Every structure is written in C-alpha cells, then in structure tokens.
Amino acid sequence: MPATLSRRRAAAALTAALLLPLAACGNGGGGTAPAAASGSGSAAPKAANLTVLAASSLTDVFKTAGAAYEKAHPGTKVTFSFAGSQELAAQVKQGAPADALVTADTKTMDGLKGETGDARVIAKNRLVIATGKGNPFKIAALEDLADTKVKVVLAAPEVPVGRYSKEILDKQGVTVKPVSHEPNVRAVLSKVELGEADAGLVYRTDSAKSGDKVVAVDIPDAQNAVASYPAATLRQSKNPGAAAAFVAWLSTPEAQKILKDAGFQQA
C-alpha cells in the first residue's frame, strides 16, 4: 500500500505539473490582451498632467477645448501656457517643461523640428482690421490704414500675425507707420479696445471675442493671408503617450466643432 500510495501521489504531482503551464497560458491569454491594447493607438491614454504651449490667439477656444478633453478623459489635467508663437519657440529651445505645442504658423513649428514630433495643422484663421468702437475714422479697407491721422498698432514682425500683417500690406502696396509693435495678437487687440490705437490687424477669431468694443472690418480673401495652426508633441515631454493622444484629439470631430464654433476654419 505505501508503494501504491507513493505512485499515486507521484502521478498526481506529474499531472499537476503538466496542467500548470496550460493554466498559465490560459490566464496569460486573458492577461496579455489588456497589455497589448494599452500599447495600441485605440487604447485610452493613462491619466496625466499635461502642459500645452499655445499661441495667444487660441486662449479662449483652448479653455473650452481643454475642459471638454478633461471631461472625456477623467484624471487628466490640461494646463495651457499662452504667448506669441515666437515666445513659445524660445521656451521650447530653453527646455521649458511642457508636453505639446500649438503655434499660429507653420514657419515657427518647422524651426523646431528637432524638438517636436510630427506636426499636423488643426485649424486655420484669417485677418481683419479691428477699429475703435463705432469705427470713427470710417476705415473700410487696408489702404485706409496709411492715413497718418489714424493711429495703427501692429504685432512685431517676428510674431506670426505681425508677419501676416506685413505680407498683406506689402502685397497691396500700403505703407503703415505703426505707433507700436506688440508681442502678440492679444496685445494688439487690447490697444484698440482701450482706445490707445485707432486700428490694428488681428485674427478674425480674436475680434469676435471683443463684442462691441471694436468693429471688425473684413479683408477680401484675395488680399488676405491664411494662418495655419500646427500642433505637435514635444520630445522633452514626460508624458509622451498622453501628449500624443491630446494632439490627435485636436483633429477629432469633437475638437474641430469647438474650433469651428469659435470662428476658426477647418484644417
């Protein structure tokens, strides 16, 4: 009997040993599926605190977009830092801690290729002439900005909106002597809103946010410039997966509707 019992125990042990790998394979199959999914593009990114550097003309719309993104991705916090695109580029080159970048032109983004992932244009914009409340100088076209009685303010030439402004004025042969050059489009608009300038060139979306503080004079498409907004992840990001997910989300129907409702053109 002891010998028989010993053989039975040995057989049982052998059976268990043979079944264990099979059980492990079965459990592993169930366990590896989520792991594989987490590495796929379709899986939800892990919650993270994201810092996004964005052009100042995106200030209002990105606050709305950020709230929508956080609602759809519980646990993720998106913090924006707004400034002129040239300022943002300088911050990136200096190693500022951030995860993604959105500029108001492709030229600035192209100059950062070594610092970013692949960029994609998420929206477009156009310029308008913002005049003081009631448009007291009856400004109706770009050539009216050449009147020396009109105090015109423009963005600095190194700022995207400043470069676009110079481009369209030069194209029409209009010479303007601005009373000041500002670091971003919001500063230009503020000067007009406060009555410190009679007119300025700003993005259509910015003038729309001013309500009756300014009058927006449209510029014909043939005389205008199209501003493109590219978005990209930053190589220095500590949350590359979450950053890539946010940049990709900016091209989704949900995000595009938010941008369109704010007056931006579809990419």
165-222 confidence digits (pLDDT tens): 999 999 999 999 999 999 999 999 999 999 999 999 999 999 998 888 999 999 999 9
Here the tokens at position 48 are 């993270």
Q: Which two tokens stand for residue 75?
A: 């646990």
Q: Does this chain's domain 49-124+228-266 share its CATH topology with 126-226?
A: yes
Domain residue ranges in the chain: 49-124+228-266, 126-226
CB contact at 8 A, 105 and 56: no
- Other Cβ atoms within 10 Å of 186 Cβ, number: 23
186-195 pLDDT, tens digit per residue, is 999 999 999 9
Structure confidence at residue 266 (pLDDT): 86
With vertex at residue 99, the alpha carbon angle to CA 246 and CA 209, rounded to the nearest 5 degrees, is 65
pLDDT of residue 166: 97
> How is residue 78 written in tokens?
């998106």
- In whole angstroms, how far apart are CA 83 and each of 128, 133, 155? 20, 26, 13
Q: How far apart are CA 34 and CA 197, in angstroms?
A: 59
Residues in Cβ contact with 146 at an 8 Å cutoff, skipping those fewer than 6 apart: 174, 175, 176
- 143-166 per-position pLDDT tens digit: 999 999 999 999 999 999 999 999
End-to-end CA separation in angstroms for the chain: 84
pLDDT score for 40: 33
Query: Residue 4: which residues within 8 A CB-CB, separation 6 or more?
Result: none
Please spell the DSSP secondary structure of 139-178, one letter per residue: --SGGGGG-TTS-EEEE-TTSHHHHHHHHHHHHTT-----
Distances in Å between the alpha carbon of 61 and those of 14, 34, 95, 169, 204? 67, 35, 26, 28, 13
What distance in Å separates the CA atoms of residue 118 and residue 232, rounded to the nearest whole number?
6
Residue 156's pLDDT is 96
Question: Who has greater pLDDT, 7 or 31?
Answer: 7
Measured CA to CA, the distance from residue 169 to residue 223 in angstroms comes to: 9
Proportion of the chain above pLDDT 70, given as a percent: 83
- pTM score above 0.85: no
Architecture of the structural domain at 126-226 = 3-Layer(aba) Sandwich (3.40)
Q: To which CATH superfamily is domain 49-124+228-266 assigned?
A: Periplasmic binding protein-like II (3.40.190.10)
Structure confidence by residue, pLDDT tens digits, 79-124: 999 999 999 999 999 999 999 999 999 999 999 999 999 999 999 9
Q: Which two tokens stand for residue 178?
A: 């601005």
Across the chain, mean pLDDT equals 87
User: How far apart are alpha carbons 73 and 244 in whole angstroms?
Assistant: 14
